[in-house]
Structure 1
Amino acid sequence: MKIIFWLSTFLIVYTYLGYGLVLWILVKIRWLIKGKRPLPVVDDRDLPGCTLIVAAYNEESFIREKIANTLELDYPKDKLKFLFVTDGCDDKTPEIIQTYPEITLLHQAARNGKIAAVHRAVNQVDSEVIVFTDANTFLNPEALKNICRHYSDREVGAVAGEKRVQVDKQADASAAGEGFYWRYESTLKKWDSELYSVVGAAGELFSVRNKLYQPVSPDSILDDFMISMLIARKGYRIIYEPDAYATETASANVSEELKRKIRIAAGGIQSVIWLKDLLNIFKYGILSFQYISHRVLRWTITPFLLILVLLLNLILAIKTSSLLYLGILLAQVLFYVLAWIGLILEKRHLRVKILFIPYYFCVMNYAVFAGLIRYFRKRQSSSWEKAKRK
């Protein structure tokens, strides 16, 4: 029982904190041996041709701002194309886009899901690089240049931008928790990229080398993750570029954020199953190490270990009367009590930011359980399921 308790505790700590520490140490060692990876310097004349694809579903409240932001992007005009795809919209999004002659619109009445729309758009692309971004995110002006400069390196198959969540001083738990989570994720991605490769890209902003794009199944839930990891599986690196960022508002509330997290969790277990060969560390080496440490543990066993450790800790504290086990038990109970208080205060619209982290942590792990159940019951659709934003 003690062995299981300590092994499970180790895996929990490693999943959420330890991997970051190990990654930081490995990056420092790499710098000592090989130096920092040089940042590519590319003249505008040498930048590759680029097509920006925006998949939009019922975004009439955002789409004019998105288009204005898109047209302000700094990139050689003769090398840049804009392609918006709006399958299944029942609002005025397609009509609004049609008023902009700079943008090519692909629209069809049938709603077959985001990935089907993306595949249809990619079939129209003839540029070397494809950049994907969401309709409700806004890019910094230099985003495309900062992304596309990396394709001067033939080992690079994809480039992931940074996701930034707007958090104001009156942020609730969903906004503050999501903002903190993405700042931590961004740090891990920087180190992942410096060591070898990012393990998966987020749909808010990522790009691929066109010739490496591989269509994924229409029922793919995390299509952006799958598209990028299929490229990594071919032996190409996924670079993280923090100076290309997509900014969006946080989920409207914790319920909307939970809906989004459950979908991600369902997609996570689907991805683990579909990419099961990447678990072979003898074949894929450091990519497998990064993939298992950063993704697989979070999406599979670690949430279950949280429950197991609490139960084993209670039994060991009673059986051994050890101050060590009693202290760990009290720490666990305090953490979950703080999360529960955070829930109560959130419902009453009271903001105590110190409670947002334990509360958001518990919401994230609950989402994994719910996502697993939804996936195996085949109740998770691959169609757009937008979380309401602030």
Structure 2
Amino acid sequence: MIVFFFWLSIFIIVYTYAGYPALLYLLGKACRKTKEYEDYEPSITLLIAAYNEEDFIRRKLDNSLNLDYPSEKLQILVVADGSTDKTAEIVQTYESRHVELCFQPQRQGKLAAIDRAMAFARGDIVLFSDANNIYEPGTLKSLVVPFSDPTVGGVSGAKHIIKDENTLGESEGLYWKYESFIKKQETRLGSCSGVSGEIFAIRRALYEPAPRHIINDDFYLAMRLLRRGYRIVYVPQARSFERTSYSKKDEIIRRKRINAGRYQALRYFRQIFPLKYPRLMWQVISHKVFRLLLPFAMIVAFLTNGLALVPGLSKGEPSILRLTFPFNWIIFSIQSLFYLLSVIGNISAGKQGKLVYLPTFLVNSNIASFQGFLQFIKGNETALWEKVKRADNGEQINA
């Protein structure tokens, strides 16, 4: 049983991180070429959710007004419900430039704010965005082209992390490149199963209000589109840029909440998952659900490997499959080195190489996932975001 649970855990880890992306790549090459779309230029509502974003909102609006898209077809709508700083006041100074504000003093959560703002949206396409990310000039044109296909219900762009002195940015940047690869391959199969909430567009006519207590609103909206038979397309040419969290602690807080939202989504399995579409279900389970198993798989792999070192519990001829000597010690040493590097990465200051920051990022991500699980089972999840500080030097970001 020790050996069985060890290899089951290793399978979950390897399949999630490497096996699934590899299968996607092979299936994508065998099944479908990249689809070509017709030129398309619909009206767009750029819906910016901003809660206490006085440090970022001016830069966001300047960036939005300079996007390469016909102004008569672009509505810029900021929803700033509950903001207690100068966010709403700053947005009002852009009124002469046709920026619209949707504001009420009460804070009821992001979903409630978006639901209220959707009543004022006029665009055929609604692009959900945050206040602390910026777009490249041609992002809107790239993002809306797939909507020329009536089977496409949603389109997600690419999230990029701006490089700075923060080593967290290096590892998170690699993570989003990895995510981009997966979404490209999923799209080649017909539809992707993951979206980036700060650059996610849907047809306004297809918008469905989500339950107010839902944490991951972008995931909920995406799953509902897939469940109704619409495709979601990933467009890497539509690029969004933002800085990483200010510290590892802030990043863990952010990821803990996201993962609590993923566990929460399992509660609505029958209501939101695309159960009638086996391929999409395989994608969702492999891409999203299996990742929730990773912290448990890592714990079990380490503990069972440790038990295999106990004299008498693992005996026989040398065999890696049976985890006998010397393979039990070799694998345990590799695992121990991996976790040691993550400890070094967490306690060291300054810029480290990839040998350190990648294990640190992976371990911290799974710690956050486990904490999200604990938050979920305690029933502490809430629709109100705990705002975390973003690394920023106050300079204009050029993209």
TM-score (norm 1): 0.93
Could you tell me how far 1:329 is from its partner in structure 2? 1.4
The answer to whether the Cα contact below 8 Å between 2:161 and 2:173 also exists between their aligned partners in 1 is yes
Equivalence for 2:291: 298
Spell out, residue by residue over 1:236-265, the C-alpha distance to the aligned partner (whole angstroms, 9 max, x if none): 111001111110011111011011010011
Residues 269-284 of structure 1 aligned to structure 2 (within 5 Å): 269-276=263-270, 283-284=276-277
1:119 to 97, 111, 115: 115
Corresponding residue SS for 1:219: coil
The answer to whether the Cα contact below 8 Å between 2:224 and 2:272 also exists between their aligned partners in 1 is no
1:263 to 248, 253, 257: 257
Could you tell me how far 1:7 is from its partner in structure 2? 2.2
Corresponding residue SS for 1:204: helix
The answer to whether the Cα contact below 8 Å between 1:57 and 1:384 also exists between their aligned partners in 2 is no
Following the alignment from structure 1 to structure 2, what is the Cα–Cα distance between the partners of residues 197 and 58? 35
Equivalence for 2:381: 380
The answer to whether the Cα contact below 8 Å between 1:175 and 1:253 also exists between their aligned partners in 2 is no
Corresponding residue SS for 2:38: coil
Alpha-carbon RMSD: 1.6
1:164 to 147, 150, 160: 160
Following the alignment from structure 1 to structure 2, what is the Cα–Cα distance between the partners of residues 87 and 212? 24
Equivalence for 1:69: 63
The answer to whether the Cα contact below 8 Å between 2:194 and 2:222 also exists between their aligned partners in 1 is yes
Could you tell me how far 1:284 is from its partner in structure 2? 1.8
Aligned AA (1:272): L
2:301 to 296, 301, 309: 309
Equivalence for 2:282: 289
Following the alignment from structure 1 to structure 2, what is the Cα–Cα distance between the partners of residues 193 and 350? 35
The answer to whether the Cα contact below 8 Å between 1:147 and 1:161 also exists between their aligned partners in 2 is yes
| Higher helix residue share | 1
Equivalence for 2:319: none
Aligned AA (1:80): L
Corresponding residue SS for 1:126: coil
Could you tell me how far 1:276 is from its partner in structure 2? 4.3
Following the alignment from structure 2 to structure 1, what is the Cα–Cα distance between the partners of residues 22 and 351? 34
Residues 122-161 of structure 1 aligned to structure 2 (within 5 Å): 122-161=118-157
Farther-moved stretch of structure 1 (56-65 vs 374-383): 374-383
Corresponding residue SS for 1:39: coil
The answer to whether the Cα contact below 8 Å between 1:196 and 1:287 also exists between their aligned partners in 2 is no
The answer to whether the Cα contact below 8 Å between 2:75 and 2:122 also exists between their aligned partners in 1 is no
Following the alignment from structure 1 to structure 2, what is the Cα–Cα distance between the partners of residues 208 and 374? 30
Corresponding residue SS for 1:84: strand
The answer to whether the Cα contact below 8 Å between 2:183 and 2:194 also exists between their aligned partners in 1 is no
Corresponding residue SS for 1:148: helix
Spell out, residue by residue over 1:110-129, the C-alpha distance to the aligned partner (whole angstroms, 9 max, x if none): 01111110111112223211
In structure 2, stretches of 5+ residues that fail to align are 316-323, 392-399
1:88 to 82, 99, 105: 82
TM-score (norm 2): 0.91
The reply to whether residue 226 of structure 1 matches residue 229 of structure 2 is no
In structure 2, relative to structure 1, the CA distance for the partners of 1:270 and 1:236 (3 Å cut) is: same
Following the alignment from structure 1 to structure 2, what is the Cα–Cα distance between the partners of residues 349 and 145? 40
The reply to whether residue 7 of structure 1 matches residue 8 of structure 2 is yes
The answer to whether the Cα contact below 8 Å between 2:305 and 2:332 also exists between their aligned partners in 1 is yes
Equivalence for 1:37: 34
Could you tell me how far 1:377 is from its partner in structure 2? 1.4
Could you tell me how far 1:297 is from its partner in structure 2? 0.7
Corresponding residue SS for 1:130: strand
Could you tell me how far 1:21 is from its partner in structure 2? 0.8
Aligned AA (2:72): D
In structure 2, relative to structure 1, the CA distance for the partners of 1:116 and 1:280 (3 Å cut) is: closer
Residues 144-223 of structure 1 aligned to structure 2 (within 5 Å): 144-168=140-164, 170-172=165-167, 174-223=168-217
Could you tell me how far 1:279 is from its partner in structure 2? 6.4
Farther-moved stretch of structure 1 (307-316 vs 66-75): 307-316
Following the alignment from structure 2 to structure 1, what is the Cα–Cα distance between the partners of residues 13 and 338? 14
Following the alignment from structure 1 to structure 2, what is the Cα–Cα distance between the partners of residues 245 and 122? 24
Equivalence for 2:325: 322
Following the alignment from structure 1 to structure 2, what is the Cα–Cα distance between the partners of residues 135 and 316? 51
Equivalence for 1:370: 371
Following the alignment from structure 1 to structure 2, what is the Cα–Cα distance between the partners of residues 89 and 40? 40
Following the alignment from structure 1 to structure 2, what is the Cα–Cα distance between the partners of residues 335 and 379? 32
Could you tell me how far 1:350 is from its partner in structure 2? 5.3
2:340 to 322, 332, 337: 337
Aligned AA (1:307): I
Spell out, residue by residue over 1:329-364, the C-alpha distance to the aligned partner (whole angstroms, 9 max, x if none): 11111111111111221xx34534420011111101
Following the alignment from structure 2 to structure 1, what is the Cα–Cα distance between the partners of residues 245 and 182? 22
Identity of aligned residues (%): 40
